[in-house]
Amino acid sequence: MTSAVTVIGCDGRPPAPEALAALAKADLVVGAPRHLAQAPMPPTAEQHPIKRLDDALDAVGQHPGQVAVLASGDPGFFGIVRALRARGITPAVIPAVSSVALAFARLGLDWDDALVLSAHGRDPRRALAAALAHPKAVILTAPANVARLAADLLASGKAVYLAECLGTPGERVTDLSADPSGSLSGPGRPLADPNLLISLDPAAASTPDSGTSAIPPAAPAHSPAPSAPRWLAGHHGAPDAWALPETAFEHRDSMITKAEVRALVLARLGPAPGRTIWDVGAGSGSVAVECARFGAWVIAIEADPAQCTRIRNNAASHGVYLRVRHGRAPEALVGLPPADALFIGGGDAAVLAGAIRAASPSRVVVTLAAIHRVTETASILTDLGYRPEGVQLQSNRLTPLPTGPLRLAPENPIFILWADRPEIVGRNPRHNGSNDPRSGGPQHTEQPKSQP
């Protein structure tokens, strides 16, 4: 394919012959100042440093001659190729090695089971939630986000590595687990851009042995997850079954959300990677564990210490990560990160109102056994700006009689209410990507890259 625009990946190595040829015939070369300074420039070519992505894309689209665009690493991986194609430009692409591949190579790790996330040019909370819920993740970051992301990952019991300026003379890979209090502090430790964080379950067999790393001794508040199947890179995908039978969970005296109810609750909560879900009054944790099986980051709040133990046991038996907060709502909710969705399976009106105010979720799901609670709950949801809907769910299970034929055994009827805030139905203002340079929204000074 021939094109007037050629995108050339830069990874710190000398340009390949085809990249040199594309540069030699370019009339315009566009790139970050550091890339323009390092590339062999044709003496007659105009140079356009990328300060605002939209301005650079305008220059590329309007230029009548041959254009070379210098970009970090593999420009088709969280890079500028998408933005060019959104402008109707189909470039030729000469990729280099991405920073993600380089970072895992420096640690001697395989990464086909790693979740690759971006917190560059967007709210970092979604990427953090996905990394907390996954045993192996890499987050493309910006200097302003690194310290907070690293602190939260370390607090969860993860091993965390910071990689800066890979493939350049200033390359640095730091094991933050070895010195979590001082690795990112002090005037002598400015963060370089670009950078990325790698987050690992310290119990995983593939965690690198740095020789000096001191993984925090406190047990993580989640359970080790199994490695992803090698036929599918990154996240392991949706579970092969959900609304599991009650026998799939350790529980006390049948105090567990029944499978039929759980199926509708899961459908209304919408668990997925990057979403944070609170389960208030979690009981045995069946809803929390099922949400985590879809890749959501789940915080289970439970007042009974024996039930907290059951939640951890159930998470371990299903190989998922979640966080358990022991305490009684709403007091136990103080200091928790905001939630995208909130499930309440128990508690009074004060618990419901307090949890909604603390979580500020876009969606709330509540299960109730008593009919008199329905109107009260709907009123609270309405007063707090939500639009409630609901059903009564009554199931009858096929059960064999002693003589052999089947009969219908009724389960207790349950009311399920769910509610959205109308002003944010269909979108999440925390995660709308409006500051993503690839989306055409407000711009950073430089296009987020997968590789310096």
Model pLDDT, residue 71: 95
Helix or strand (DSSP H, E) at 144: helix 143-155
Of the listed ranges 7-16, 248-257, 334-343, 431-440, the one predicted with least confidence: 431-440
Model pLDDT, residue 185: 55
52 close to 94: Cβ distance less than 8 angstroms: no
- Mean pLDDT for the chain? 86
Q: Return the higher-pLDDT residue of 167 and 6.
A: 6
For the domain made up of 5-96, give the CATH fold.
Answer: Cobalt-precorrin-4 Transmethylase; domain 1 (3.40.1010)
Query: pLDDT of 145-160, one tens digit each?
Result: 899 999 999 999 999 9
First CA to last CA distance, the chain: 27
Of the listed ranges 173-187, 269-283, 418-432, the one predicted with least confidence: 418-432
Q: Return the higher-pLDDT residue of 441 and 22.
A: 22
Phi, psi of 316 (to 5 degrees): -65, -40
Q: 404: pLDDT confidence band, cut at 50, 70 and 90?
A: confident
Model pLDDT, residue 167: 85
Model pLDDT, residue 108: 95
* Residue 105 confidence (pLDDT) above 70: yes
How many CB atoms within 10 Å of residue 322? 28
Model pLDDT, residue 206: 52
Alpha helices in 176-236 (DSSP H): none
* Residue 21 confidence (pLDDT) above 90: yes
Has domain 246-347+363-427 been given CATH number 3.90.1150.10? no
69 close to 47: Cβ distance less than 8 angstroms: no
Q: Pick from 270, 332, 325: which is nearest to 296 by CA? A: 270
Model pLDDT, residue 255: 87
* Residue 439 confidence (pLDDT) above 50: no
* Residue 43 confidence (pLDDT) above 50: yes
Model pLDDT, residue 205: 47
Q: Return the higher-pLDDT residue of 312 and 428.
A: 312
What whole-number distance in Å separates Cα of residue 196 and Cα of residue 450? 9
The ranges assigned to domains in the chain are 5-96, 100-227, 246-347+363-427
What whole-number distance in Å separates Cα of residue 77 and Cα of residue 438? 12
What whole-number distance in Å separates Cα of residue 22 and Cα of residue 18? 6
Q: How far is CA 229 from the centre of its chain?
A: 19
* Residue 102 confidence (pLDDT) above 80: yes
What whole-number distance in Å separates Cα of residue 122 and Cα of residue 437? 9
Q: Encode 238-269: b = buried (16+ Cβ within 10 Å), e = exposed.
A: eeeebbbeeebbbbeeeebbbbbbbbbbbebb
Neighbouring residues of 210: CB distance < 8 A, sequence distance ≥ 6? 175, 178
Q: Domain 100-227 maps to which CATH number in 3.30.950.10, 3.30.70.2080, 3.30.110.40, 3.40.50.300? A: 3.30.950.10
Q: Which long-range contacts (C-beta less than 8 Å, at least 24 apart) are formed by 325-331?
A: 325/299, 325/300, 325/301, 326/302, 327/301, 327/303, 328/303, 329/280, 329/281, 329/301, 329/303, 329/354, 329/355, 330/354, 330/355, 330/357, 330/358
Query: pLDDT of 330-382, one tens digit each?
Result: 999 999 999 999 999 978 999 999 999 999 999 999 999 999 999 999 999 99
Helix or strand (DSSP H, E) at 297: strand 297-302
